[in-house]
Amino acid sequence: MSIDVVGLEKKFGDVTVVCGIDVHVPNGKMLVLLGPSGCGKTTTMRCIAGLDTPSRGRIEIAGNVVYDAADGTNVPVERRHVGMVFQSYAIWPHLTVFQNVAFPLEIQRVGKTETAERVHDMLTLVGLGDYSSRGASQLSGGQMQRVALARSLINKPAVLLLDEPLSNLDARLRDYLRVQLREIQMQLAITAVYVTHDQHEALALADEIVVLRAGTILQRGEPIDLYGHPCSSAVAEFLGYSNIFTATVTARDGALADVTFETGKESVRGALVAPPGDAVVAACVRPNDVRIAALADAAAALPPNTFAAEITLASFEGSHIHYQARCTSGIVWDVICADVSGALRVGSTASIHVAPESVLLLPQDQA
């Protein structure tokens, strides 16, 4: 079962919120749509599910055309045979947890004993084994989300659409269910589209990530490729490059270039990704690629790609320390330091170093 979306466009009134996107999800693979709030993720999913009618384009599920603007094909939602978990749960408040999860099996006329067994297993998996007889209206948001997830998986759908299915869970449960979900999806070879604005979730779950902004695809690729090679500053931002500075190219040297930040004070050497014609680029660095160390003499001459900065934030976060450090020019570096032993104090002076290969000089996105 594959999913093919070709030239999908969706307008609400005069506003185009999905601008002709193409997506192919091969059989048994998980595609993640990643993008900020309002970029058209849910709208795209609703079009695939048949809950919204596109304005243009074609959608195929398992090789069957379910929507085609050209000839008016529009298969109703119940005949598209997709499992869904939507942002708004859509569980039935007047039914119990058990009845909600058992519903898809009832439709398929699965026997009572098998239903009881499968519902029990699924509720245990999502951590709601003790909630079977609870009325669904008496659940917390996170519990409702898990009921919706259990219901979507209970009949082992070949195609699954998941719209931020873990957004209301606490961090521990989210990590646990993310792994479970990926395991189930791979084990049953479910073809899935998963929507999130969380880069960690996207990187961990996806076979392929599609980065969306304003209804348009900015970049697509396998998680590792995308993480290492964002094509523009907007994509870099979604993928956790929290240091992004506008800079002017002053010299080129093969694959490297020297740039000066907007402040006019800092110059840095980085890997040139932007096309040769771009005089202004975005210098993008991941916080965990920034080296930070105590600096005794703030006036001392510093090696290339190294700056003096005052520590303005030092937040211990368990496995690492999160620092922010401000240069006298005003730019602020965001730093993740895995060494938690020698914590630097707020107000002290530090040296900031970035290796040229970890500074990506990317094309700047127009806002």
Angle between helix axes 97-107 and 112-125 (nearest 10 degrees) is 130
Burial of 250 from C-beta contacts in 10 A (0-12 / 13-18 / 19+): exposed
Between the alpha carbon of residue 28 and those of residues 60, 131, 159, the distances in Å are 15, 31, 9
**Tokens 């040296």 belong to which residue?**
351
Q: Which H/E stretch holds residue 229?
A: none
316 contact choice in Mg ion, ligand ATP, none (CB below 5 to 8 Å, kind-dependent): none
Distance in Å, CB of 152 to ligand ATP, minimum: 18
Distance between CA 233 and CA 153 in Å, rounded?
Answer: 37
Query: Is residue 8 within the footprint of ligand ATP (CB under 6 A)?
Result: no
Distance in Å, CB of 163 to Mg ion, minimum: 6
Buried/exposed code over 44-78 (b: 16+ C-beta within 10 A; e: otherwise): bbbbbbbebebbbbbbbbbeeebbbbeeeeebeee
Query: Is residue 41 within the footprint of ligand ATP (CB under 6 A)?
Result: yes
Query: Is residue 316 within the footprint of ligand ATP (CB under 6 A)?
Result: no
Which one, 12 or 316, has the nearer CB to ligand ATP? 12
Query: Is residue 39 within the footprint of ligand ATP (CB under 6 A)?
Result: yes
Within positions 186 to 205, which residues make up the interface with ligand ATP, using CB under 6 A? 197
Contact region for ligand ATP (CB under 6 A) — 32-40, 123-131, 154-162, 233-241? 32-40
Query: Is residue 115 within the footprint of Mg ion (CB under 5 A)?
Result: no
Query: Is residue 23 within the footprint of ligand ATP (CB under 6 A)?
Result: no
Which one, 43 or 152, has the nearer CB to ligand ATP? 43
SS3 73: strand
β-strands 56-61, 3-12 pairing: antiparallel
Site size toward ligand ATP (CB under 6 A) is 12
Q: Spell out the alpha helix ranges (H) of 91-222.
A: 97-107, 112-125, 141-154, 171-187, 199-205
Contact region for ligand ATP (CB under 6 A) — 19-27, 38-46, 59-67, 175-183? 38-46
319 contact choice in Mg ion, ligand ATP, none (CB below 5 to 8 Å, kind-dependent): none
Query: Is residue 287 within the footprint of ligand ATP (CB under 6 A)?
Result: no
The DSSP-derived string for 101-120 is: HHHHHHHTT--HHHHHHHHH
Query: Is residue 213 within the footprint of ligand ATP (CB under 6 A)?
Result: no
**Tokens 């045979």 belong to which residue?**
81
Within positions 25 to 64, which residues make up the interface with Mg ion, using CB under 5 A? 42
Contact region for ligand ATP (CB under 6 A) — 34-42, 144-152, 220-228, 229-237? 34-42
Query: Is residue 113 within the footprint of ligand ATP (CB under 6 A)?
Result: no
Distance between CA 322 and CA 344 in Å, rounded?
Answer: 11
Query: Is residue 298 within the footprint of ligand ATP (CB under 6 A)?
Result: no
Q: In this structure, which amino acid lies at residue 30?
A: M
Spatial strand order of the sheet with 83-85 comes to 83-85, 159-163, 191-196, 30-34, 208-213, 216-221
Cβ contact 169:139 at 8 Å: no
Distance in Å, CB of 218 to ligand ATP, minimum: 13
Query: Is residue 145 within the footprint of ligand ATP (CB under 6 A)?
Result: no
Which one, 37 or 341, has the nearer CB to ligand ATP? 37
197 contact choice in Mg ion, ligand ATP, none (CB below 5 to 8 Å, kind-dependent): ligand ATP
**Tokens 């309002």 belong to which residue?**
38
Which one, 169 or 273, has the nearer CB to ligand ATP? 169
Chain contacts with ligand ATP (rule: CB under 6 A): 12, 17, 35, 37-43, 87, 197
